[in-house]
Structure formats: structure tokens, C-alpha cells
Amino acid sequence: MNIIRKIKLESLGYYKFIDIEKELVCFINDNFLNLVKVTFLEYTDYIFYFKENKLIFEYDLDENWIQLNESIWSVFITKFDYKYEEIRDLIKDIVKYYYNLYVKQVYNLSNLKIELIEYLQNNLNKF
């Protein structure tokens, strides 16, 4: 059973998380809930999702794919021992459940692009 299903069941009182699941749920809550949706004039085909000026992911409106912040991606690998397919499936489930986004594919967002987008978010006009 995937973690999103477990979150739903736990919220209804039908499931109790084990310790590693608690850590994962805390990580998801800290990094994926209450994100700010941002669009830029320079990138009309994308929606960017931020948490406290940190780019979490970008969503391509045309291709329906996500690029996830590399620092978050690496936590799934190092702390939770997730493989690529597990990260992809989890991110698809998270954004579908919390943001109603349909995603075909999930990629790792390079640090260079993250810095560019965070700069834009802090310094340029949004609409």
C-alpha cells in the first residue's frame, strides 16, 4: 500500500504509521504541503511550486511532467532508500492528491535551473 493511501487511512483512524513511515510523512508534510503556486511571464508553459522561497518542483503544462528539486530527490534516495521508480510514483501520487495534477513523468531538477527560478521568484514580476 502506498504512503498516500496510508495517509488517508491514518487520517480516518484506520491505520497507524510505523517509525520510518512517520519520518516519510513528516518529510512530505514539510516539503509538499502548503506550497505557493507561481507563474512567470518568462515561463508561460510552467507552473512553479515554492515553499518559503525554495523551489520544490516545476510542472510543465504542455507535457504534464514535473521536475523535482534535486535536494528533495536526494533525500528520497539517501534517507528513505527509494529507487527512481519509487520516487517517480510517490511524487505522482503526492501531486495528484494534494494539487490535482496529472503527471506523466518525473525528473530531477538541476541546481542551476533551481537557482535561476528562485532568482526570478525573488526579483521579477509575477502574474
Query: Of 12-16, 24-28, 122-126, where does mean pLDDT reach its minimum?
Result: 122-126
Residue 103 and residue 31: Cα distance in Å, rounded? 18
pLDDT value, residue 127: 45
CA 83 vs. chain centroid, Å, equals: 16
Query: Of 6-15, 24-33, 77-86, 116-125, where does mean pLDDT reach its minimum?
Result: 116-125
Q: Model pTM?
A: 0.84
Q: Give the confidence band of 124 by pLDDT, cuts at 50, 70, 90.
A: low
In this model, does residue 126 exceed pLDDT 70?
A: no
Segments making up each domain of the chain, as ranges:
35-123
**104's grid cell:** 506523466
CA 60 vs. chain centroid, Å, equals: 13
Burial of 37 (0-12, 13-18, 19+ CB in 10 A): exposed
Q: Give the confidence band of 58 by pLDDT, cuts at 50, 70, 90.
A: very high
For residues 70 and 111, the answer to whether their CB atoms sit within 8 Å is yes
